[in-house]
Amino acid sequence: MKTSFKVNRNGVMTFLLAAFVVISVIVMIGKEEEEDTLLKTGNYFYSLTPDGGNSPDLNADGLRSSANGVLFDGAPSYAGWMGGENAPGTVNVVIDLLKDYPLNKVRVVLNSPNQYWGFKDITVKYRSEAATGYSIADRHERTGNGLNYSVTVPMSNKSARFMILTVSRSQPYQHIPLTEVEIYKGTGVEGRKPGQALTTEQLKAELKKEVVLVDKYGYSTSETWPGKVTSDDQLRQEYSDEAKALADVSLDLTKYDPYGGIKRLGKQESTGYFRLQNIDGKWWFITPDGYPFIVKGVDAASLWEYGYKTPILNEDGTPKRIFEELPDRTDYAPAYTKDANGEYVSFVIANVMKKYGSDFEAKWEDITKKRLIEWGFNTFSKWTKPRNVTFPYIQVLQDPPDLRRIQWTYDVFDPQSRTIIENALKAKLQEAKDSKWLIGYTYDNEAGWNADIVKEVLTYSSDSPAKETFVDFLKPRYNGSLAAVNKLLGTNAKSFDALKDTPIDIGKVPAVDVSEYIRLASRTYHSMIRDIINKYDPNHLFLGTTVVPTWRTSLDWDQEAMQYVDAFSVDSYTRDAGWISRYEDYGKPLLNLELSFGSSERGLSNVRAATMAASIADRGTAYQALAESQAAHPLFVGSGWFSYYDQPVTGRPDGESYNVGLVNQQDQPYTDMVNIMKTVHDGLENIHVNGSAQSANPAPVKMEAEEYSSQMGIETHPLSEAETGTRIGSLQQGDWAAYGEVDLTGMKSIDVRLASAVSGTVKIRLGGPAGTVIGTLPIAPTGGWQSWTTSNVPIEPTIGTHNLYFTFEGDEGQAIGTIDYFEIKP
């Protein structure tokens, strides 16, 4: 028994010893860990010192310990970054776990204390010790308006020692919160042992390491989805399948004329060119053959479009290491371009070459035209178009680069501008003037004038034509009185010429003067462009300058354009047709030549929060709501979807990376979206025929006389002993009072409450103290300065928002009366 026991004990000890050795080896090499263990190890570093939130991270520089900082404390305390005019757009947090861990998931909590806090999106990147660059785990765009917010990123047991969280603001004044970072260990092999902690400078250097963003086809590497191309054979098979599906697609000439005009809506006069016509209160384009037509366009439809390529070099000329693999430079040479700013690759071109093979452009153009016909598009509406596809189109005339610039626009008062523009456009206009497929032109892009431009001009000296024009414009408005102008502006110029070299504070310039100066600039600009177009191409329409309502323009600029354009074009990324209300008083046909909806999927983002969609199909549904609401308005004549392809995941040359395409960069249509668009396009003409504008009758507008924007010679006095309030008086020959931004649409007369002891005349003008007279009020004595009466002045029918000028005429040196208020009536 003892022997038997002894042998058994030795066997057990031998087994235990062997097991210990095996376990020890596993521990030394790396060990399998249970899933979902919360890690609180290592250090982290902020790219920007938190100037909001809680201690100990508040105002803390350098490394923070994961064991002691606010991000890993499991509490509501947070780090924060305050917004402001010059606040950086992004904040980075670099985390060093000290060794590689297999990770299951990362949860980031970003709770906002109030509505002024929040974020636009967050990107989570990671790398193992052995990796030279980062990979993206996820990019998440915020949804909803809740104050408490968290993002969970699956890591699928990927190995990582380093992580970078990049959080961006929606706008400069937004404050960013970061409450908690929870990193959960997954299953797999851990690093052998903690390494030496990186220093602050070393963690800063991590921010410079590049991230592999896209695979060999230009897809995001951070996501997978059904249909993602994994081989050239798959691309070729997709071409074969789509070519068969579209084999019989062509324009149905029993329903449409060759240009896409709707035959069932009746034939109108045929001029051989596109024109505009109002039919039963609704505006339409009329095709060269005489049939009604609404633009259902797509922008940037060229295979060679500049915005589809992406830079491949860093600023120092070294290759970007964000590409898993670039197309072969020899086999796909047309995909590569270079200019003074760098070198580029177009995955669109490379993928099209792989997909269509020999004679790729002709095959691609055939498929593209059939796609657009099948989806109900009928126009290349902006920017580039395929070289050999015959379709109605709108041509953008670009402003020459050698114009005298003022921020985003240029000096329209420069006497050299006309010559420069005419020389740049002459050949293009002459080349296109006989085209039956050209609808018309737009000029420049998103570059109107507003008060910011005037503010800039006022800082210039006399060598600026715009500054010189401003002083020349101001002088007669104030009766040529240098003293009056100096007093108004707070300047001390010795002459009007000296004033041209004097910086002027826009805050001292009356709003009506800024407004009228912008209107003068708009008339100068739009009349010049119209005249140049008509000189070299009298056959086609001038469709405006595609402004963005309320951004880099003003109603003053836009309104004055109306008299010079055949139709007015905007770029409005929005969800409904509300933008039309800004312009409907003017009665001009309206186009929206850039619109789209995007989702934050597949490595791309949306253009703006207002047009963010939850999915591909939701993009189509959002388009349906916008397209149908626009088409219902009698002034609406068409729109353009921006753009045919998505922008690159790695960013086009200016950095934009938006999900805007009908088709992705791998030449795969967004079927769930375009199928909805096809149905929408089939019914837009019916909606336009049956739609109507909801015009409300204007309400009377009462203005106290003393609430003028600017004046000359006016004094204010208490209303009377019996009434409280204020009146304007001392109204003598040459005096005037101006009132800004008065909507006169639908208004027919103005009541004036006044008192007078003598005779005189009040004239109501537009544009300035010497401007167009729209109403005249003869003043007869009322019985004294406190004997009030209300007189009604009929005014000429006037459309739009204007500055009103009340000018006073009477015997020299004699006041003609005093005024309490005006009331403008429909």
Sign of CA dihedral 722, 724, 730, 735: negative
The Cβ of residue 423 has, within 10 Å, a number of other Cβ atoms equal to 12
Number of Cβ within 10 Å of residue 92's Cβ equals: 19
Q: Read off the pLDDT of each residue in 217-222 and give the average, rounded to a whole number.
A: 93
Average pLDDT, stretch 313-318?
A: 93
* Same domain (yes/no): 103, 162: yes
Instruction: Give the start-end residues of each E strand in 444-491.
Output: none
Q: What is the mean pLDDT of residues 262-286?
A: 97
Domain-ending residue, one of 152, 181, 212:
212
Q: Is residue 734 part of a domain?
A: yes
Q: Is the pLDDT of residue 545 over 80?
A: yes
Domain check: are 133 and 110 in the same one?
yes
Answer yes or no: do 708 and 674 share one domain: no
Report yes or no on 293 lying in a domain. Answer: yes
**For residue 629, which phi and psi values (nearest 5 degrees)?**
-70, -35
Give yes or no: residues 359 and 279 share one domain.
Answer: yes
pLDDT reading at 42 higher than 90: yes
Farthest CA pair distance, the chain:
142
Compute CA 377 distance to the chain's CA centroid, rounded to the nearest angstrom.
Answer: 23
Instruction: Note whether residue 91 is domain-resident.
Output: yes
**Contact by Cβ (8 Å): 554, 519:** no
**Number of residues assigned to the chain:** 826
CA 280 to chain centre: 35
Taking the C-alpha atoms of 170, 171, 175 and 178 in order, what is their torsion angle to the nearest 10 degrees?
30
Q: Are residues 190 and 258 in the same domain?
A: no
The pLDDT, as a whole number, for residue 26 is: 34
| pLDDT band of 281, cuts 50, 70, 90 | very high
> What are the pLDDT digits (tens) for 70-112?
999 999 999 999 999 999 999 999 999 999 999 999 999 999 9
Higher local confidence (pLDDT), 720 or 135: 135
| Per-residue pLDDT at 259 exceeds 80 | yes
How far separated are the first and last CA of the chain, in Å rounded? Answer: 120
Q: How far apart are CA 347 and CA 322, in angstroms?
A: 14
Cα(118)–Cα(614) distance, integer angstroms: 20
Domain-located, residue 671: yes
Domain membership of residue 524 (yes or no) is: no
Encode 212-232: b = buried (16+ Cβ within 10 Å), e = exposed: bbbbbbbbbbbeeeeebbeee
Question: CA 680: distance to chain centroid?
Answer: 25
Which pLDDT does position 132 carry in this prediction? 86
C-alpha 659/C-alpha 550 separation (Å) is 24
Indicate whether 483 belongs to any domain.
no
430: Cβ contacts below 8 Å, ≥ 6 apart: 536, 537
Compute the Cα dihedral for 315, 318, 321, 324 and give only its sign.
positive
Q: Answer yes or no: are the C-beta atoms of 45 and 64 closer than 8 Å.
A: yes
DSSP string computed for 492-505: --SSHHHHTTS---
Per-residue pLDDT at 33 exceeds 60: no
Average pLDDT, the chain: 93
Domain with 183 in it: 37-212
The enclosing domain of 268 has a CATH number of 3.20.20.80
CA distances from 118 to 51, 169, 396 (A): 15, 7, 39
3-state secondary structure of 747: coil
Residue 112 DSSP label: -
| Confidence band, pLDDT 50/70/90 cuts, at residue 247 | very high
Could you tell me how many helices (H) and strands (E) the chain has, helices first?
Answer: 14, 39
Backbone angles phi, psi at 79, to 5 degrees: -95, 145
**What is the reported pLDDT for 723?**
84
| Amino acid identity for residue 766 in this structure | L
pLDDT digits (tens, 9 = 90+) for 757-811: 999 999 999 999 999 999 999 999 999 988 999 999 999 999 999 999 999 999 9
Distance from C-alpha of 68 to C-alpha of 56, rounded to nearest angstrom:
8
DSSP state of 600: S
Do 716 and 801 fall within a single domain?
A: yes
Q: CA-based angle 276:282:283, to the nearest 5?
A: 20
**Where is pLDDT greater, at 803 or 211?**
803
pLDDT at 6 over 80: no
In Å, what is the CA distance from 561 to each residue of 113, 120, 377, 572, 643?
46, 36, 29, 18, 27
pLDDT (0 to 100) of residue 27: 37
Asked which of 659, 694, 729 is the last residue of a domain, the reply is 694
Between the alpha carbon of residue 234 and those of residues 217, 229, 237, the distances in Å are 12, 6, 5
pLDDT above 90: residue 116: yes
Q: For residue 792, what are the CA distances in angstroms to 685, 753, 821, 824?
A: 45, 9, 12, 10
Residue 568 has pLDDT above 60, yes or no: yes
Cβ neighbour number for residue 791 with a 10 Å cutoff: 15
Give 362's strand partners.
none
Is 434 within the bounds of a domain?
yes
The predicted model gives 714-722 an average pLDDT of 87
Domain check: are 716 and 670 in the same one? no
Per-residue pLDDT of 128-140, as tens digits, reads: 999 888 988 988 8
Run of H or E including 178:
strand 176-178
Rounded distance, CA 83 to CA 178, Å?
Answer: 14
Q: Which two tokens stand for residue 382?
A: 């902006």
| CATH number, position 104 | 2.60.120.1190
Percent pLDDT > 90 in the chain is 88
Token pair of 160, please? 């990582």
The Cα 557–Cα 481 span in angstroms is 28
How high is the pLDDT of residue 10? 42
CA–CA dist 678, 605 (Å, integer): 24
Q: Residues 646-672: what's their mean pLDDT?
A: 97
The distance from CA 642 to its chain's CA centroid, rounded to whole angstroms, is: 12
| pLDDT range class, residue 35, cuts 50, 70, 90 | low
Phi/psi at 309 (nearest 5 deg)?
Answer: -95, 165
Task: With a cut of 70, say whether residue 182 has pLDDT above it.
Answer: yes
- 772 within some domain: yes
Please work out, in degrees rounded to the nearest 5, the angle formed at the alpha carbon of residue 769 by the alpha carbons of 718 and 520. 130
**Do residue 593 and residue 662 come from a single domain?**
yes
Same structural domain, 151 and 196:
yes
Q: Are 367 and 239 in contact (CB under 8 A)?
A: yes
pLDDT exceeds cutoff 70 at 719 = yes
Half-sphere exposure of 597 (CA within 13 A, CB side): 25
Contact status, residue 824 vs residue 784, Cβ threshold 8 Å: no
Domain at 766, CATH number: 2.60.120.260
pLDDT at 5: 32
- CB-count exposure of residue 61 (10 Å: 0-12, 13-18, 19+): exposed
Instruction: Determine the 3-state secondary structure of 431 from DSSP.
Output: helix
What pLDDT, on the 0 to 100 scale, is given for residue 224?
Answer: 87
HSE of 488, CA atoms in CB hemisphere, 13 A: 22
DSSP tag of 579? G
Assess whether pLDDT exceeds 70 at residue 427: yes
Shared domain check, 367 and 296: yes
**pLDDT higher than 60, residue 356:** yes
Nearest to 157 by CA among 94, 105, 210: 105
Domain count for the chain, please give it. 3
Q: Work out the average pLDDT over 194-202.
A: 92
Element housing 329 (H / E): none
What distance lies between CA 639 and its chain's CA centroid? 16
> Based on the domain organization, do 394 and 272 belong to the same domain?
yes
Cα–Cα distance, 237 to 261 (Å, whole number)? 35
How much of the chain, in percent, has pLDDT values that exceed 70?
Answer: 96
Which of 642, 662, 694 is the last residue in one of the domains?
694
Express each pLDDT in 477-533 by its tens digit: 999 999 999 999 999 999 999 999 999 999 999 999 999 999 999 999 999 999 999
Q: How far is CA 177 from the centre of its chain?
A: 26
Is residue 7 scored above 90 in pLDDT?
A: no
With a cut of 90, say whether residue 724 has pLDDT above it.
no
Q: Do 513 and 458 contact (CB within 8 A), yes or no?
A: no
Smallest Cα–Cα separation from 519: which of 278, 741, 215?
Answer: 741
Residues 378 and 276 in one domain: yes
Q: Is the pLDDT of residue 540 over 70?
A: yes
H or E segment at 512? Answer: helix 511-536
